[in-house]
Chain A
Amino acid sequence: DAEITQSPRHKITETGRQVTLACHQTWNHNNMFWYRQDLGHGLRLIHYSYGVQDTNKGEVSDGYSVSRSNTEDLPLTLESAASSQTSVYFCASSGTKGPQETQYFGPGTRLLVL
């Protein structure tokens, strides 16, 4: 069965360190997204990609970067982790950009920045 996985599921890091969160999907979807979820804010879009070599900034992109070298993977990098980046991070993918877009979410990564 097709799926979308994230690793690690839990991560503790220190302020200033570089951290990379992995996202891998076997849906063969062109579109991939990274969100962060915080209490009171719902899901906020960090970065997204519509295909290989394509990346775009979302609503809260400062301090984050992504790269898309193949269809299956969209790693999210925190260049220099800050305590404000403590959050739950979700990766998602979709097969269409049309109005009736269904996004499939990974299980999430809980990140704690000390």
Chain B
Amino acid sequence: GQSLEQPSEVTAVEGAIVQINCTYQTSGFYGLSWYQQHDGGAPTFLSYNGLDGLEETGRFSSFLSRSDSYGYLLLQELQMKDSASYFCAVKSGANNLFFGTGTRLTVIP
């Protein structure tokens, strides 16, 4: 089977940095993705890590350690519009994406 663990809620201050962690258990691991979803909206793709290390896309970065079955999403210079839910998802041997239950990020002034 597959399982993903991420915190259910995180609160951070505008302008600060926040890290959202994700640990996974799966067979045939191919990569870790992150999706963002605003309230009432659709999930949208943020980033993908297939190899160990850090991937940077503007204010967002994502990290993967395959040996630790662990990854994180790093959001810098937080803005109010970053308040949303963030989902990690693994691509496994079944060739489908398996999503975590999501982390609700609240950015406060």
0/1 interface trace, chain B 39-69, chain A, CB 8 Å (1 if under): 0011111001010000000000000000000
Q: How many residues of A contact B (CB 8 A)?
A: 23
Residues of B with C-beta under 8 A to A100: 31, 48, 50
Distance in angstroms from A92 CB to nearest chain B CB is 8
CB-based contact B101/A41 at 8 Å: yes
CB-based contact B101/A40 at 8 Å: yes
Instruction: For the complex, give the distance between the alpha carbons of A42 and B24 in Å.
Output: 15
Is B102's beta carbon under 8 Å from chain A? yes
| Residues of chain A whose beta carbon lies under 8 Å from any beta carbon of chain B | 33, 35, 40-45, 48, 58, 90, 92, 97, 99-108
Among all A-B residue pairs, the 5 with the closest Cβ atoms: A99-B30, A105-B42, A42-B101, A43-B99, A99-B31
Besides A99-B30, A103-B45, 5 more A-B contacts (Cβ < 8 Å) are: A33-B96, A48-B96, A90-B42, A102-B33, A102-B48
